[in-house]
Structure 1
Amino acid sequence: MGEMKWYIVRAVSGQEKKAKNYLETELGRHNLTDYVPQVLIPVEKVFEMRNGKKRVRERNLYPGYIVIQAELGHGEVDHIITSTPGVIGFLGDKDKKDSANNRPIPLQMSEVNRILGIVDEQEQELTATLDKPYVIGELVKVIDGPFNGFSGNVDEVFEERKKLSVVVKIFGRSQPVELSYTQVEKEV
């Protein structure tokens, strides 16, 4: 068995999941999963507020691309990958081909680690990032925790920790409270 390397495959934008499923099915049908052990779509989890409700959704980090680990050049592996519905071809097919073997050039490990590192960080993180971070002075409503139902103004934003200092009125006195992004929503 040769050396496994990472490649980027171009897919029809918006159909990455469908192309990934087709690819995995075809490789399994031809008993080639040993030569393509991983097919990934790098995604990140983001919170969004819709109609006053907090939702978590996944967003593609690189729309139109699928990352695969493969040993190319073994039998039909190259052909099956490029002929799968929804797959356009390998990234760099036209301009970066290895002239000796006429095959796509693999990613460098530093690039792979950066892509996989982003995905790992996202999965390890308990709180996801908001699409629109908060600004100082903005009016927010607490939707979770002991101060649920209180409203207040953002006093400080701790972007790296995904937390806010919010000044709320408790028993008629202004009191700063530290809350995570997921515990508040913007007042309309």
Structure 2
Amino acid sequence: MKKWYVIQVFAGYEGIIKADIEKSIEEKGLQEYFGDILIPSAKVKQFFDTSDPLKDQQLFPGYMLVEMEAVPEANRLVSSTPRVLKLLNAPLSKKEVERIAAQMRGDVLVSGESHRFELGKEVEIKEGPFAGFMGIIEHIDEESEKLTIMVSIFGRMTPVELNFEQVKQ
């Protein structure tokens, strides 16, 4: 039975390694032991490059996934491929494979930096005209990465809209 395994490889060579493995499978006639070979990547919005706003970005640089039967011939073929560092012997669970597939389809938000803001939490404003003020998070807009913070100005609570980067937790 074929299962998904992780291959640790030299980062930046994933495409070449995938082609090498596929060629070796065909040359040695081991197609029955192998399924798909994936380089997990997702379309990521690029703000600085307006010519191509959606660009493929690898989810796990230096790692690939291979669907195969863990027979000695298959293990040897993958492990002996140039630039392959290690074939991890433990298969991935169905849940892990589904999560990675969801990320590749774009069903799960992949962000380079995670912000863990919570409604009602007190934060310090670190930039802008209210720098140094403390406030309470009233609203979180994940999509535009903005917060509405209630700040006490002259003894009165006033809503202030700020970017995630302008606030320190």
Give the structure-1-normalised TM-score: 0.55
Alignment of 1:44-59 (within 5 A): 44-50=42-48, 52-59=50-57
Distance 1:51 1:39 in 2: 30
Shift of 1:68: 0.8
Out of 22, 36, 43, the residue aligned to residue 20 of structure 2 is: 22
Please, what is the CA RMSD of the aligned residues?
3.1
What are structure 2's unaligned runs of at least 5 residues?
A: 114-138, 147-169
Moved over 2 A (4+): 49-56, 128-132, 156-160
Distance 2:140 2:104 in 1: 25
Distance 1:54 1:131 in 2: 19
- Partner amino acid for 2:103? I
- Partner amino acid for 1:114? R
Q: 1:184 maps to which residue? A: none
Q: 1:85 maps to which residue? A: 82
The answer to whether the Cα contact below 8 Å between 1:46 and 1:131 also exists between their aligned partners in 2 is: no
- Say if 2:41 is the partner of 1:68: no
Shift of 1:47: 2.3
Distance 1:51 1:9 in 2: 31
Identity, % of aligned positions: 28
Shift of 1:130: 8.6
- Partner amino acid for 2:97? V
- Partner amino acid for 2:76? H
Going from structure 1 to structure 2, the CA distance change for 1:130 and 1:48 (only over 3 Å counts) comes to: farther
Going from structure 1 to structure 2, the CA distance change for 1:110 and 1:60 (only over 3 Å counts) comes to: same
SS across alignment from 1:58: strand
The answer to whether the Cα contact below 8 Å between 2:75 and 2:87 also exists between their aligned partners in 1 is: no
Going from structure 1 to structure 2, the CA distance change for 1:157 and 1:54 (only over 3 Å counts) comes to: farther
Give the structure-2-normalised TM-score: 0.60
Shift of 1:129: 7.7
Distance 2:50 2:76 in 1: 48
What are structure 1's unaligned runs of at least 5 residues?
A: 92-103, 133-155, 165-188
- Say if 2:104 is the partner of 1:119: yes
Shift of 1:49: 3.8
Instruction: Provide the aligned length of Structure 1 versus Structure 2.
Output: 123
Distance 1:52 1:60 in 2: 20
Going from structure 1 to structure 2, the CA distance change for 1:22 and 1:110 (only over 3 Å counts) comes to: same
Q: 2:156 maps to which residue? A: none
- Partner amino acid for 1:85? P
Out of 12, 35, 38, the residue aligned to residue 36 of structure 2 is: 38
- Partner amino acid for 2:99? R
Shift of 1:107: 1.4
Q: 1:107 maps to which residue? A: 92
SS across alignment from 1:63: coil
